Amino acid sequence: MTYDVHIIGGGLAGSEAAWQLAKRGLRVRLSEMRGTGERSPAHQTDALAELVCSNSFRSDDSDKNAVGLLHHEMRQCDSLVMAAAAKAQVPAGSALAVDRDVFSAEVEAALAALPTLEIVRERIDRLPEAGLTLVATGPLTAEALAQSIGAATGADSLAFFDAIAPIVYRDSIDMDVCWMAARWDKGGKDYINCPMNKEQYLAFHAGLLAGEKTEFKQWEANTPYFDGCMPIEVMASRGIETLRFGPMKPVGLDNPHSATPEFPNGRWPYAVVQLRQDNKLGTIWNMVGFQTKLKHAEQVRLFRTIPGLENAEFARLGGLHRNTFLNSPVLLDRQLRLKTAPHVRFAGQITGCEGYVESAAVGLLTGLMTAAEIAGRDWQAPPRTTAMGALLAHITGDAEAETYQPMNVNFGLFPPVGPEVKKKGRKEAYTARAKDDMRGFVAALG
Ligand SMILES: Cc1cc2nc3c(=O)[nH]c(=O)nc-3n(C[C@H](O)[C@H](O)[C@H](O)COP(=O)(O)OP(=O)(O)OC[C@H]3O[C@@H](n4cnc5c(N)ncnc54)[C@H](O)[C@@H]3O)c2cc1C
């Protein structure tokens, strides 16, 4: 069969994109390497849309939770992943969890029933030079194809490991304790600085060493620590002063909260934790140099001992994994096309979104974009105020490219709601606005 679109990778994103295209009558070739004897180190089966770890799609609460809202929006766009999840659902309170075998079987059955979709078990080793192509090969993209992508994008633009520092919502940082400044007052006052005295630093250092860590998986064991990407606790283990000469260096940072008549600009604290703006909206800030393999609960507990972060709300917690992903804000246009080769689109986790639901949502969007392109229709992205729109905008240009790391959907990616909305009702305000704003997008899908 000749085809309109070639999709490489039959995971969450590739399966969802294939559904969106083939149900519109477009001819699709879906190439999946599993089934040929090949497997990524994490996949256990040859099933399409295999869930490689947890069986949960996280919260299903679309009134208070960003990922629940994403579920809602995907359902409105006739998502195959959401439909299969509904059929495979198992009890999990307010979360949407599934029987993973039933889920994959549902996805596969729905795709197999589409007459214009051909599922081919084959490994693709090179980016096709022509023809509409959708690359959805995920965080564990097979090596030869990854090299081909690296050659097309530039080696520095394709990462093989993430090094995720925690991200904090700006409005949960106590600015009566922290202050904005750059070291030696160079440039703008671009960083939020959290001061520590000696006692606080020593306790924090001890906490890093004692904290429970996540182990690398066997196939990740030789994860390299690149310069500047070493986990904070590994750095701490190298000596009591290592952090004070590294990411927690206080020099050149006068703390105005400690100003006295003798020192009107304040003094340098004993140590500093710095946060840098992570998106153009300025709603989320990352903890500079704090990539970590501490367990999530441990991160929340320990990082809330940092002065000024006592009530910190985290948009993302830290981690370090094997993970193939592009520097999408630089490389891709607003329709997820490679700027230097616009016949190639990327979908799923390889774009730098994080999670089953986000990967499937980006797959859904690429399916819709490609269908519009083939039909010669202008593409209208979902509004920025929706979960799909906010995630897409983040990946395709709104994130800080220099520090780009995988991101899950969260309200920090949304344009803030008005100051008149009290903190307690903010989540509901985000979701209500998104649901309103999504209507036009859904209606236009027909
Ligand atoms: C070990 C691990 C655990 C994770 N756990 C979770 C979790 O618990 N919850 C969560 O929400 N997210 C988790 N993730 C993150 C992520 O959401 C999932 O990896 C998700 O499956 C990504 O969807 P995807 O479609 O982008 O990639 P995938 O689902 O991985 O699909 C990519 C597909 O492409 C195929 N492929 C790769 N290279 C080629 C090639 N050259 N030719 C043809 N086919 C190819 C692969 O076989 C695979 O089927 C985890 C990731 C990893 C690596």
Q: Which atom of ligand 1 is nearest to the CA of 322?
A: 53
Whose structure tokens read 């059929």? 87
CB neighbours of 61 closer than 8 A, spacing ≥ 6?
Answer: 68, 94
Find out whether 347 and 337 touch, Cβ atoms under 8 Å. Answer: no
Predicted confidence at residue 225, as pLDDT, reads: 64
Predicted confidence at residue 216, as pLDDT, reads: 82
How far away, in angstroms, is 141 Cα from ligand 1 center? 8
Predicted confidence at residue 1, as pLDDT, reads: 64
* Residue 152 DSSP label: H
How far away, in angstroms, is 71 Cα from ligand 1 center? 19
pLDDT digits (tens, 9 = 90+) for 220-271: 776 666 556 789 999 999 999 999 999 999 999 999 999 999 999 999 999 9
Q: Which atom of ligand 1 is nearest to the CA of 57?
A: 11
Rounded Cα distance between 41 and 216, Å, is 13
Q: Which of 6, 7, 48, 52 for a ligand 1 pocket mutation test, highest count of atoms within 8 Å of Cβ?
A: 52
What's CA 307's distance to the chain center, in Å?
27
How far away, in angstroms, is 349 Cα from ligand 1 center? 7
How far away, in angstroms, is 123 Cα from ligand 1 center? 15
Which residue ranges in the chain fall short of pLDDT 50? Answer: none
Q: Which of 8, 15, 31, 53 for a ligand 1 pocket mutation test, highest count of atoms within 8 Å of Cβ?
A: 53
Give the residues surrounding ligand 1 with Cβ less than 6 Å away.
8-14, 31-34, 40, 42-43, 52-54, 123-124, 136-142, 145, 348-350, 355-356, 359
Average pLDDT across the chain, whole number: 94
Dihedral sign, Cα of residue 239, residue 168, residue 95, residue 384: negative
- Among protein residues, the one with the nearest Cα to ligand 1's atom 8 is 54
- Among protein residues, the one with the nearest Cα to ligand 1's atom 4 is 53
DSSP string, 221-253: TT----TT---HHHHHHT-TTTGGGTTT--TT-
Q: Which of 140, 215, 220 for a ligand 1 pocket mutation test, highest count of atoms within 8 Å of Cβ?
A: 140
Predicted confidence at residue 391, as pLDDT, reads: 98
